[in-house]
Amino acid sequence: MSRENVEIVRSICEPWTRGDFSSAEWAHDEIEYVIADGPAPGRWVGRAALAEGWQAFLNAWDDYRAEPEGYRELDAERVLVPLRGTGRGKASGVDLAQMATTGANLFELRDGKVTRMVTYMNWDRARADLGLRE
């Protein structure tokens, strides 16, 4: 099942490389969405709340895109995706491409749907939370 989960996650992330975050068909109706770190951590439950939380994040950026740097099966239900974000902060003007930082999304899946997604702005924090080494 985990290989299938990797392909589901790949199909979710592919539009994100073009800045297309419009679909949430992949999300379970009661998905838990967590932003674990960064300037605006939070937790939302449900597909509508996922959209609200994600939109709040996206509203801080012009032309935000997320470039996956790989797909790592952690177990039969979890896939970790290191991501490099690009875009420019609306308020700060900061260019993410110049910062060369990697974050990550952790996807937890059951029956072909994402039941939990955790966004990490910091790759080291993601690895520490998950007990991973390079």
DSSP 123: H
At residue 76, the pLDDT reads 94
Q: What angle do CA 10, 83, 89 make, to 5 degrees?
A: 125
d(CA 61, CA 12): 20
For range 7-33, the mean pLDDT: 96
Task: Output the six-digit token pair for 125.
Answer: 């924090």
Is 80 exceeded by the pLDDT of residue 1?
Answer: no
- Comparing 45 with 91, the larger pLDDT belongs to 45
- Comparing 25 with 100, the larger pLDDT belongs to 25
For range 81-88, the mean pLDDT: 93
Strands (E), the chain: 27-35, 42-45, 61-68, 72-73, 78-89, 103-110, 113-120
| Partners of 54 in the β-ladder | none
| Backbone angles phi and psi of 34, in degrees to 5 | -125, 130
Is 80 exceeded by the pLDDT of residue 134?
Answer: no
For range 27-36, the mean pLDDT: 96
Q: How confident is the model at residue 60 (pLDDT cuts 50, 70, 90)?
A: confident
Which amino acid makes up residue 31? I
**How far out from the chain centre does Cα 12 lie?**
10
Helix (H, G, I), strand (E, B) or coil at 46: coil
Is 90 exceeded by the pLDDT of residue 108?
Answer: yes
